Amino acid sequence: MDSSLVPLSKLAIEPYSSILGYPKATRGELSKRIMELKKLGIKGVSFTGTTTLNNVPVLGKGYVGVVVLSNQRKKTVALKIRRMDASRPEMKSEAKLLRLANEVDVGPKLIDSSKNFIIMEYLEGKKIIDWIRDLKGKGSAAKLRSTILKVLEDCYSLDKIRLDHGELSHIHKHVIVGKKTCIIDFESASVNRRTSNVTSATQSIFIGSGIANMVKKIIKVPNRKKLIASLKKYKNDQSRKNFEDVLQVLGLKK
């Protein structure tokens, strides 16, 4: 990472300034953000990733922030930068929700946060849709079942603490599969609405279009009516027993 590390002093210069203050920031705001990063111990940013903003590669982009690979005190981390046009004035609230998810071992580990930044554990891997697309050969069905089970167990953990992720109906963007399988991006999360993590994720994986079409080519997909019935039962009573029944219908539990 060090060879491509852009130091803080260069982040106020184009094209990097368009990422630090995406989509556009004044020189004064950029200077404030660089000082903020210094206080957090950030040494620089490595611009890499499959998403491109203004011809600059980044790890990801959401409605609230842009995520880049960074270096904090010689450690590789993921740095989430609040967008200038974000609908919220700070990142502390999102950091608080990520910390809550971490309490049940869900999500990337929160390292630090400030008004405009969240520093998280960097997770190397592929988005779940790309990981499934690349699954080939012997053992692929077992790997897929194991990964889906991990995702749904994490979803159940979030349901139990009443933390709704909010975007798991678009699960292809919100799960990374690598050394570990992890739900990411809690910018739409809330503790003020009814949780639907298990139901949203299950529907996205088995009933939606993109991922579901790939999944059914690798493993047997359950009867749609039977699955919907089990999900309705779970929705009405998010008990462990009803969750286990959903897993049974999905063929993830013997």
pLDDT in tens, 167-213: 999 999 999 999 999 999 999 999 999 999 999 999 999 998 789 99
Q: Are 21 and 33 in contact (CB under 8 A)?
A: yes
Out of 121, 137, 165, pick the residue that ends a domain. 121
* Ranges in the chain, pLDDT < 70: 1-3, 254
Does residue 157 share a domain with residue 70?
no
pLDDT of 18 reads 96
Q: Which residues contact 29 (CB under 8 A, 6 or more apart)?
A: 21, 84
Both 83 and 192 in a single domain? no
Q: State how far Cα 93 lies from the chain centre.
A: 16
Confidence (pLDDT) at 79: 98
Provide the residue range defining the domain that includes 31.
2-121
pLDDT of residue 138: 85
pLDDT at 3: 47
pTM of the model: 0.94
Domains in the chain: how many in total?
A: 2
Quote the pLDDT of residue 2: 45
* 83 and 136 together in one domain: no
| CATH code assigned at 76 | 3.30.200
d(CA 107, CA 91): 16
Return the number of other C-beta atoms located less than 10 Å from residue 179's C-beta. 9
64: closest CA among 48, 47, 45, 88? 88
Specify the pLDDT at position 53: 94
Cα–Cα distance for residue pair 60/173, rounded to 1 Å: 10
pLDDT at 137: 83
What share of the chain in percent tops pLDDT 90? 94
What is the predicted pLDDT for the residue at 254? 66
Nearest Cα to 72, choosing from 99, 20, 37?
37
Task: Say how many residues make up the chain.
Answer: 254
- What is the pLDDT at residue 14? 95
Neighbours of 74 (CB within 10 A): 8
3-state SS, one letter per residue, for 162-177: CCECCCHHHHHHCEEE
